[in-house]
Chains A and B, each alone.
Chain A
Amino acid sequence: MSDKRIRVLIAKPGLDGHDRGAKIIARALRDAGMEVIYTGLRQTPEMIASAAVQEDVDVIGLSILSGAHNTLVPRLLDLLKQKGMSDVTVLLGGTIPEADIAGLKKAGVAEIFLPGTSTQNIVDFVRERAARK
């Protein structure tokens, strides 16, 4: 078992200022023993991709409650690809209509966590993904 800690970037893309969920997930993952970097608010996809490279993360958790996910997420995934970071696990949470989930997963989002998800589910998912790599 590797003793290298899982590195996670929690990011708030776009103008959305609702950070309650993002902060809770950041703390829960930290409590679960992971290295967590929280970007803070109002990050462009460019800023997030740069941070992901700089911090050499294994996972990016995106929180979007503004409805801008169909614009911001594909753009970020593109940038990650360009920067050779396609093996990073990208997760998404927030206000995501059911109908948009398939398209986002097809674009490369590993999992989407809707409101009501327990923090343990997210911790388990991240650990399980990290163990696979």
Chain B
Amino acid sequence: MSSDRQPTTRRAAGEKSSERASEFTTVSGYPIRGLYSAENLSGWDPDRDLGLPGAPPYTRGIHPAMYRSRLWTMRQFAGFGSAEDTNKRFRYLLSQGQAGLSVAFDLPTLMGYDSDHSHAEGEVGKCGVAISSLADMEALFDQIPVGNVSTSMTINSPAAILWAMYLAVAEDQGVDWKHLAGTLQNDILKEYIAQKEFIYPPKPSMRLVIDTIEFGARYTPRFNPISISGYHIREAGSTAIQELAFTLRDGIEYVEWGIRRGLAVDDFAPALSFFFNAHNDFFEEIAKYRAARRIWYKTMTERFGVKLARSSALRFHAQTAGCSLTAQQPYNNVVRTALQALAAVMGGAQSLHTNSLDEAWALPTEFAATLALRTQQILAHETGVANTADPLGGAYFVETLTNEMEDASWKYIRKIDEMGGMIAAIERGYPQREIADASYRYQVSVDRKEKIIVGVNDFTGEESPIDILRIDESVRAQQAEQLRKLRSERSSEEVARQLAALRKAAQGTENLMPHIYAAVKAYATLGEICDSLREVFGTHEEASIT
């Protein structure tokens, strides 16, 4: 059930079709015509609909000179094992030309459990770095000056707590928070929709998000307190249009909650950032990013009446599609990633992560991670695509697709508005059902070989195993010992006092960031802080939709 239109291919009457298939669709199943021309753009007004880069409606990009003035930030997601292990990888990547850091946390950390919790067994350090306390965060940034390098943290339910730890590290390093640059993912709505790393129910979770946005607006103007994400929605199997529409509708929900908190929209809107997938279908992705900018511009000016230009200029990070990586013939993934990265760059991304060839098997080896970074560097310095803004602007195909994706997105946005907003839509399972249906449709098309995946359902061959990264099972024991030591060395009275104050504040409406910060500084652990909030907020269970 999609709101995509069904265009037809123009053909002279009586002419026999000589095409390879009866229809050609994007990876999302969106039909593509054989040729696009001016007649597809009747009613299109370049001044109104295209504009210039760095000017409304931002279709062509959010800066006038785009990559001529500054390249996108090469920001590779990394994290595994202990803080010491990840610190080494961070310093290696920085030495190889990476411009910004991006932290991957392990599942226990993502779910607000200390490494020694029973639910953490087998999981510590496997999907990312284990961070159970400020001590771990300090080790993570050892020899890394956080005042000079921006850091993105992929953390959602416990984002406020990990952010407090990062802020404490900054304070300790003598960095003024006003100069601190970085991003917190902190997008809880997409957790209920797709990534599923929720702890608390929606309303208290939204309260925590708005607390961080409010705190950030006041104390950390250069830090993005949220990265409103479509990446995970797409990874869960949505179409490109669903990714676009659900992400922007999530954005609308956060803006509404911010306004309800009493914040002036221009005080927090400039710091909202976005995160999109860079999937296989080259032109669909480019059109998606361009449509995103135009939709957000219209939304922020027309729906929310923003006055500042920065409040309506959509900034985004992109990551190449993890779900497109194959376990078979893994070196093919280098090619996929390069082409996906090219789409992100031609679509005007501000920041980019490129996946490693081995990620269908494990976290990246140093070799694979280096090659992924080199992919971006080759793109930036050898292909010429960074020489001009919005190189595909004016192309009949790209402009038509941009228009069509925008139109289709508005339909979804209106539908969710009519349901009472995104939280209401989530409660009735609407985006989850759309995604489950889209992902099943895609799998059926792959099983039927209507969609070819090279090396998997066609062009298969003899497989030879590759070297992969193994995480030592000893990380958990190491962490457990460090936690035991931490608990014996800190002031347990101070921790108890701070947790009690936090629980009390959580029952009211005040901003929790100062309390979380104080608890973190007293070396209360992540688990202890999250459990205190579990006591007050409760936990969330989803009604599964298959």
Contact = CB atoms under 8 A, between A and B. Distances in A.
Interface of A: 14-20, 23-24, 26-28, 30, 36, 38, 40-42, 44, 66-72, 95, 97-99, 114-116, 118-120
Given A17-B195, A41-B196, 12 more contacts: A18-B196, A20-B236, A27-B440, A38-B544, A67-B127, A68-B107, A71-B122, A97-B361, A97-B470, A114-B327, A118-B457, A119-B443
A8 B15 CA distance: 52
Nearest to A22: B546
26 contacts: A15-B111, A15-B113, A15-B123, A16-B107, A17-B197, A19-B544, A23-B544, A24-B443, A30-B546, A36-B546, A38-B546, A40-B542, A66-B127, A67-B122, A67-B362, A67-B363, A68-B122, A70-B122, A70-B473, A71-B121, A98-B465, A99-B465, A115-B326, A116-B326, A116-B457, A118-B457
Contact of A97 (B122, B362, B446): B362
Contacts of B362: 67, 95, 97
A17 B328 CA distance: 24
A68 B447 contact: no
Contact of A41 (B121, B363, B436, B542): B542
Contacts of A114: 327
Nearest to B465: A98
Interface residues of B, number: 45
B10 to A, nearest CB: 36
Among A19, A28, A44, A115, the one with the most B-chain Cβ atoms within 10 Å of its Cβ is A19
- List the 4 closest pairs (A to B, CB-CB), nearest first: A71-B122, A17-B196, A67-B126, A68-B122
A28 B546 CA distance: 10
Contacts of B470: 97
A20 B236 CA distance: 6
B471 interface: yes
Given A15-B123, A71-B122, A119-B443, A66 B107 contact: yes
Contacts of B361: 95, 97-98
Nearest to A41: B196
A120 B457 CA distance: 12
Contacts of A16: 107
Interface in B400-453: 436, 439-440, 443, 446-447, 453
B108 interface: yes
A116 B453 contact: yes
B32 interface: no
Among B362, B446, B546, the one with the most A-chain Cβ atoms within 10 Å of its Cβ is B546
A15 B119 contact: yes
B122 A72 contact: yes
A40 B465 contact: no
Contacts of A28: 443
Contacts of B126: 66-68
Nearest to B363: A67
Contact of A66 (B123, B440, B465): B123
Interface of B: 107-108, 110-111, 113, 119-123, 126-127, 195-197, 235-237, 323, 326-328, 360-363, 436, 439-440, 443, 446-447, 453, 456-457, 465, 468, 470-471, 473, 541-542, 544-546
Contacts of B443: 24, 28, 119
A96 to B, nearest CB: 9
Contacts of B235: 20
A71 B471 CA distance: 13
Nearest to B113: A15
A30 B235 CA distance: 23
A28 to B, nearest CB: 8
B440 A24 contact: yes
A116 B443 CA distance: 10
A98 B470 CA distance: 12
Nearest to B110: A15
B460 to A, nearest CB: 9
A27 B122 contact: no
Contact of A119 (B119, B447, B465): B447
A132 to B, nearest CB: 24
A23 to B, nearest CB: 4
Nearest to A67: B126
A15 B440 contact: no
Contacts of A18: 196
A17 B541 CA distance: 12
A77 to B, nearest CB: 14
A27 to B, nearest CB: 5
Contact of B327 (A15, A40, A116): A116
Contact of B546 (A26, A70, A97, A99): A26
Among B122, B447, B453, B473, the one with the most A-chain Cβ atoms within 10 Å of its Cβ is B122
Contacts of A24: 237, 439-440, 443
Contacts of A118: 446-447, 457
A29 to B, nearest CB: 10
A95 B360 contact: yes
Contacts of A71: 121-123, 473
A17 to B, nearest CB: 3
Nearest to A23: B546
Contacts of A14: 107, 119, 122-123
A25 to B, nearest CB: 9
A42 B197 CA distance: 10
A44 B122 CA distance: 12
A68 B439 contact: no
B477 to A, nearest CB: 13
A17 B119 CA distance: 14
A42 B375 CA distance: 36
B331 to A, nearest CB: 15
A23 B546 CA distance: 5
Nearest to A121: B447
Contact of A15 (B108, B323, B544, B545): B108
Nearest to A118: B447
A20 B195 CA distance: 10
Contacts of A36: 546
B211 to A, nearest CB: 24
Nearest to B127: A66
A19 B323 CA distance: 12
